[in-house]
Structure 1
Amino acid sequence: MSTALPTRPVLHSEWIKIRSLRGTFGSLITILFVTTGIQALTAAAIGQAEEGAMGEDPLLAAFYGITFGQIAAMAFGATALSSEFHDGGLRTSLVAVPNRARFYLSKISLVGGLAFVAGQIAGLATFLAGQSFMGPHSIGLGDPGALRAVFGCGMYLTLMALFAAGLTAVLRSATAVLSLLIPFVLMLSFVIGAGAEGMAEFLPDRAGQMMMRAEAGSVLGHWQGLGVLTLWAGAAVIGGWLAVRRRDV
């Protein structure tokens, strides 16, 4: 099994691919700027209007920008994988790295690693930038749950990127994956939550955002929610591996 583990040359080659694909690298950078920028703009516009103007949960409201940043994270994961399924890209990659497990694990590891770094920076920057405009309604890193929420924001963005990456390996199309995931994440939880709040907590977005809530949910705790999102992302990554292993190039 150790022979299938990522190696430095393979990871380096995958980094070159990501860096050279303008859309993929742009999506990675956008995770930071969209999440932080929208949070700061929204806080500057309405943050001091009245207590609770950004939302009933002040801790979750401190990461309002993640609603938009997660789209960039999903786009990053999807486009990083979809490039392999155009113009014989996968065939060329497997000529260079014949071991499919090493190839797939290297790509997924790099996607997850880059998303984690971008996500953690975005989480901290979003919190600090947004709270700087909240005036008397601001909260600090020393307040209960704040550091957990910052870490949770980064993990949420990371797992969403991996979720999209795994599904793209299955469907072979970033467009198809984003067309499914964006409505699923942005709309379905509201539809289900209106009639079954407890069940909605097991959806990927609701579960992952539990880390950014001041109070735990009615069913899932903060860390349990992160665990549920990890299962969603893990299932997608495993599904992607099975598809890459069995599919003819």
Structure 2
Amino acid sequence: MSTTAVLRSEWIKIRSVRASLGSLISVFVATLAITVLAFASVGTAEADNADYEPLFFAFYALNFGQVAAISFGTTAMSSEYLNGALRVSLSAVPRRGLFYGAKVAVVGVLALGVGLLTSFAGFLSGQAFMGDHAIGLGHDGALRACVGGGIYLALMALLAAGLTVVLRSGVAVLSILIPFTLIVPFVIGDVANGVAGFLPDRAGQQILHENPTGTLGPWAGLAVTAAWAAAALLAGWWALRRRDA
């Protein structure tokens, strides 16, 4: 099969599997819904707090959007391990590098497109409720944060995709990554230095701060998250090459 044909087949798989398509749509829907709910109810009250950071708070709902992004990356890969689907896929595309590369490319492109749309829409919709406290895309670091937020969501989806191939279980990956991204930030609090600052979620979210603190700057932090995703994808490629379907 040609590369174009394999890419098309992977897009058809994602479009036809409800779990994958639903989790991709949920990245946008969940983030936007939580943004509107949070900003409409406590947005202006939050602005009166002494430690209020307008830019970072604008992306509050991205914490929930990343859960959907992780779910998308996981379900897009885990569907291959149900009912022997991987054997069928590799029978159609015996070149495992082409198969894996096409799958990762489709997951990454879709996650990036939806991630950018989500990041910009979430930012702009939230500011509509902030009145005099509202900031725009011209605010220092705002455009960078919107673009970086979309990239961050895509990287988290790819991280989940790579780990799913390694573990061959969507349940296992979701059981690891979702508690990790939701609980660990609360456990370590505002620690941004040392090892904690190099965790994939903490590092990547530096891009959302107007004035990042700690060792990593905004783009350096996103690069660390990219390194985590790349390591997971390489491990997934190694696992796919070495194991039987």
After TM superposition, is the score higher than 0.5?
yes
Q: Where does residue 241 of structure 2 map in the other structure?
A: 245
Q: Distance in 2 between matches of 1:31 and 1:220?
A: 26
Structure 1 SS opposite 2:211: coil
Matched, 1:148 2:131: no
CA contact (8 A) 2:193 2:215 kept: no
Q: Where does residue 179 of structure 1 map in the other structure?
A: 175
What is the Cα deviation at residue 52 of structure 1?
4.6
Q: Where does residue 57 of structure 2 map in the other structure?
A: 61
- After TM superposition, the score normalised by the length of structure 1 is 0.94
Structure 2 SS opposite 1:144: coil
What is the Cα deviation at residue 136 of structure 1?
1.0
CA contact (8 A) 2:27 2:118 kept: yes
What is the Cα deviation at residue 197 of structure 1?
3.9
Q: Distance in 1 between matches of 2:191 and 2:58?
A: 27
- When the two chains are superposed, the root-mean-square deviation of aligned CA atoms in Å is 1.7
Q: Distance in 2 between matches of 1:26 and 1:237?
A: 23
- AA at the equivalent of 1:163: L
CA contact (8 A) 1:166 1:238 kept: yes
Q: Distance in 1 between matches of 2:242 and 2:213?
A: 40
Higher mean Cα deviation, 194-203 or 148-157? 194-203
Q: Distance in 1 between matches of 2:171 and 2:119?
A: 27
- AA at the equivalent of 1:203: L
Structure 1 SS opposite 2:213: coil
Matched, 1:80 2:76: yes
Unaligned runs of 5+ in 2: none
How much identity, in percent, do the aligned residues show? 54
What is the Cα deviation at residue 199 of structure 1?
2.5
With over 3 angstroms needed to count, the CA separation of the structure-2 counterparts of 1:11 and 1:206, relative to structure 1, is: same
CA contact (8 A) 1:104 1:241 kept: yes
Between the two proteins, the alignment pairs up a number of residues equal to 245
What is the Cα deviation at residue 198 of structure 1?
3.4
Q: Distance in 1 between matches of 2:154 and 2:145?
A: 14
Matched, 1:204 2:200: yes
What is the Cα deviation at residue 191 of structure 1?
2.5
What is the Cα deviation at residue 196 of structure 1?
7.2
* Aligned partner of 1:114 among 106, 110, 114: 110
What is the Cα deviation at residue 56 of structure 1?
2.3
Matched, 1:222 2:218: yes
Q: Distance in 1 between matches of 2:51 and 2:182?
A: 17
Matched, 1:51 2:47: yes
Q: Where does residue 124 of structure 1 map in the other structure?
A: 120
- AA at the equivalent of 2:162: G
Q: Distance in 2 between matches of 1:54 and 1:63?
A: 18
Q: Distance in 1 between matches of 2:61 and 2:101?
A: 30
What is the Cα deviation at residue 193 of structure 1?
4.5
With over 3 angstroms needed to count, the CA separation of the structure-2 counterparts of 1:76 and 1:39, relative to structure 1, is: same
Q: Distance in 1 between matches of 2:48 and 2:241?
A: 50
- After TM superposition, the score normalised by the length of structure 2 is 0.96
What is the Cα deviation at residue 54 of structure 1?
11
Higher mean Cα deviation, 193-202 or 14-23? 193-202
Q: Distance in 1 between matches of 2:93 and 2:195?
A: 43
